[in-house]
């Protein structure tokens, strides 16, 4: 449809102008379209670290607890006055937080795993350090989640005791806790020090 203005020239009708503006309106993109499929190397790194770390945590817990059952006072000194193995069960989170809240802590662990898997799907494929960090972190979460679900009273088995000052003991921890800390540290390093410039093929296209 064409309208005639006062000068006698033709111009598009307001209806067509409205349609053209409507056609240019961006549509919302479904969230699942933003999910990328990580390359094979990323899957190998992530899942290998998750499975190996999880298995290592469960094996060390069982092996150390079986060993300490036959030791005096269920303790064994590795470095006198600094490092020893102990039999401890923690029914809370780190530093005894949320003590006795077995299923609440298990739910938090499950949510954490979902978040980790989501980050893995959205993470840049070039950053292998992020995949390493996520794999270690997921292994640590799975290790402690297993204890919360299947161990007596939902207690997490800890056995590493460190004396950081004469008479001062750091809260006992396990391999899963170590994997969690290493994963967080690597993630911080990856976020701070990794080059954020686009890959070379993207720069060439520009």
**Catalytic residue positions, numbered:** 158, 177
Start-to-end CA distance of the chain, whole Å, equals 41
DSSP assignment of the chain equals -EEE-TTS-EEE-HHHHHHHHHHTSPPPPPGGGG-----HHHHHHHHHHHHHHHHHHHHHHHHHHHHHTTSGGGEEEEETTTEEEEEEEESSSGGGTTTT-HHHHHHHHHHHHHHHHHHHHHS-TT-HHHHHHHHHHHHHHHHHHHHHHHSGGGPEEEEEEEEEETTEEEEEE-HHHHHHHHHHHHHHHHHHHS--SPPHHHHHH-
């Amino acid at each position: 449809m064409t309208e005639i203005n006062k000068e006698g020239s033709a111009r598009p009708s307001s209806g067509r102008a409205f349609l053209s503006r409507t056609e240019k309106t961006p549509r919302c993109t479904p969230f699942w379209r933003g999910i990328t499929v990580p390359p094979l190397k990323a899957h190998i790194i992530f899942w290998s670290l998750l499975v190996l770390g999880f298995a290592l945590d469960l094996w060390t817990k069982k092996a150390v607890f079986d060993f300490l059952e036959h030791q005096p006072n269920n303790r064994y000194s590795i470095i006198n006055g600094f490092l020893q193995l102990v039999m401890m069960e923690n029914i809370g989170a780190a530093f005894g937080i949320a003590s006795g809240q077995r299923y609440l802590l298990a739910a938090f662990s499950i949510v954490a795993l979902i978040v980790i898997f989501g980050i893995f799907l959205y993470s840049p494929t070039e950053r292998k350090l992020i995949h390493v960090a996520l794999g270690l972190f997921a292994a640590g979460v799975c290790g402690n989640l297993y204890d919360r679900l299947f161990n007596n009273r939902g207690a997490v088995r800890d056995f590493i005791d460190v004396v950081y000052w004469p008479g001062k003991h750091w809260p006992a921890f396990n391999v899963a806790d170590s994997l969690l800390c290493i994963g967080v540290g690597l993630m911080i390093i990856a976020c701070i020090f990794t080059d954020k410039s686009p890959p070379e093929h993207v720069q060439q296209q520009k």
